[in-house]
Structure 1
Amino acid sequence: MTDTVLRPPRPTPWRVLAAVLACGLVPWSVQTFADGGVPFLRFAWGGLSFAPVLYARTLPEYLALSGSPLLVPWIVAAACWVLAVASASLAFVGREDPRVTAGLLVLAGAVNASVAVRFGLQPVRTGYPVGTLALWAVAAWRYRASARE
């Protein structure tokens, strides 16, 4: 019997970019309501509401319509993710610093977690920072892989 060790895939430029981009596709937070209201999904680009019908609103639309104090950290988290995408893209020309890409993902995840927690502090609401887990997992993979290179 041979010992097999499961190792994460080698971080080629395409894999790194795909993983960082995938972080923008998962909901960054799932926000639920104690009264049984339909959950709201918040992404890097905006949000999805399911009541009364499926409705998508972009982050710039939220800026125009709301003065919520949660918008500023949401924008900061999204900006960190966009910068991580740009940093990962630099791998195609041999200029990516994996520590920068990983650090930006960690920052995006931390700020996103603060948004979800602050949403959850409001009465009858709960925020689950799903995207934070994805951002931190990709950051850990990218950082660990760079340490082995």
Structure 2
Amino acid sequence: MVGVWARLPRATPRRVLAAVLLCGLVPWSVQLFSASTIPFLRFVWGGLSFTPVIYARTLPEYLALSGSPLLVPWVVAAACWLLAVASASLALVDREDPRVTAGLLVLAGAVNASVALRFGIQPSRTGYPVGTLALWAVAAWRYRAWTRQ
């Protein structure tokens, strides 16, 4: 395991910010319905459906159209990620506390995992928390770099 950490790039402020921003481009969960093999991708900004045509809907649209109990944790995870972006941005002016950035990413990942898992326990549905892995990996990289300073 030590070899893996040694090969990772140094956590410069720009790299940290780029890594945190990239977490927003990864699908946070891949959701499948048993009647279809075509996934629904849930991102921090909204969702992307491929049936019957490719259709994107933003998170605010979901909030306006649906009363799903999964929307509140989705918003909380998105807010934690946005705060992590703000925290990582502070590194550019030497004001970041890496523990805050890493902690917010861990929280975003945990809440995202709860959304994917709660979706997956519904009948005929499966949810894979892909974004959680990305968020936690960046959090671990950021925190590990801070502890090595």
Which amino acid is 1:130 matched to? Answer: V
Q: Where does residue 140 of structure 2 map in the other structure?
A: 140
**What is the aligned-residue RMSD (CA, Å)?**
1.3
Separation in 2, partners of 1:8, 1:30: 27
1:7 corresponds to 2:13: no
Separation in 1, partners of 2:127, 2:103: 24
Q: Deviations over 1:93-121 (max 9, x none)?
A: 11000000000000000000000000001
- Name the TM-score, length of structure 1 as normaliser: 0.95
**Runs of at least 5 residues in structure 1 that lack an aligned partner in the other structure:** none
Shift of 1:6: 4.1
Which amino acid is 2:75 matched to? Answer: I
Shift of 1:141: 0.1
* Within-5 A mapping of 1:1-149: 6-149=6-149
- Name the TM-score, length of structure 2 as normaliser: 0.95
Q: Highest CA radius of gyration, 1 or 2?
A: 1
Which amino acid is 2:10 matched to? Answer: R
Q: Deviations over 1:110-146 (max 9, x none)?
A: 0000000000011000000000000000000000000
Q: Which runs of 4+ in 1 moved over 2 A?
A: none
Q: Deviations over 1:64-119 (max 9, x none)?
A: 00000000000000000000000000001110000000000000000000000000
Other structure's SS at 1:44 match:
coil
**Runs of at least 5 residues in structure 2 that lack an aligned partner in the other structure:** none
Residue correspondences, number = 146
**Range with greater deviation from structure 2 (7-16 or 23-32):** 7-16
Separation in 1, partners of 2:26, 2:61: 20
Which amino acid is 1:11 matched to? Answer: A
